[in-house]
Amino acid sequence: MSSDHVNRLKAMRWQKPEYIPTSVGILPAAWAKYRAELNEIVKRHPIIFGDQSGQRDYDAVAGTYVEGTHVDAWGCVWHNVHTGREAIVKEHPVPTREDVHKLKAPEQDAGFPHGFMYLRLADLRGFEEVMIDFGEEAPELQMLIDIVCEYNVRQANILSATLKQGDDTQIVGFGDDLGTQHALPISPLKWRKYLKPCYAKIYAPIKAKSAAIYMHTDGHILEIIPDLVDVGVNIVNPQIRANGLDNLVEVCKGKVCVDLDLDRQMFPFCTPSDIDEHVHEAVDKLGSPKGGLWLKAEISDDIPLENIEAIFCALEKYRLYYS
Whether the CA torsion 110, 113, 117, 122 is positive or negative: it is negative
**Quick check: 219 and 181 in contact, CB under 8 A?**
yes
Query: Tell me, what DSSP letter sits at residue 239?
Result: B
Q: Write out pLDDT tens, residues 139-178.
A: 999 999 999 999 999 999 999 999 999 999 999 999 999 9
> Residue 53's pLDDT is what?
87
**Identity of residue 84:** G
> Residue 76's pLDDT is what?
98
What percent of the chain has a predicted confidence (pLDDT) above 70?
100
**Quick check: 32 and 58 in contact, CB under 8 A?**
yes
Q: Write out pLDDT tens, residues 48-79.
A: 999 998 899 999 999 999 999 999 999 999 99
Residue 72: closest CA among 54, 97, 92 = 92
**Quick check: 235 and 291 in contact, CB under 8 A?**
no
Q: Write out pLDDT tens, residues 278-296.
A: 999 999 999 999 999 999 9
Indicate the pLDDT class of residue 110, thresholds 50, 70 and 90: very high
Could you give phi then psi for residue 94, rounded to 5 degrees? -125, 65
CA–CA separation, 199 and 321 (whole Å): 35
**Quick check: 119 and 112 in contact, CB under 8 A?**
no
**Quick check: 286 and 295 in contact, CB under 8 A?**
no
> Residue 30's pLDDT is what?
98
What percent of the chain has a predicted confidence (pLDDT) above 90?
99
Q: Write out pLDDT tens, residues 188-244.
A: 999 999 999 999 999 999 999 999 999 999 999 999 999 999 999 999 999 999 999
CA–CA separation, 20 and 46 (whole Å): 16
Mean pLDDT, the chain, whole residue set: 98
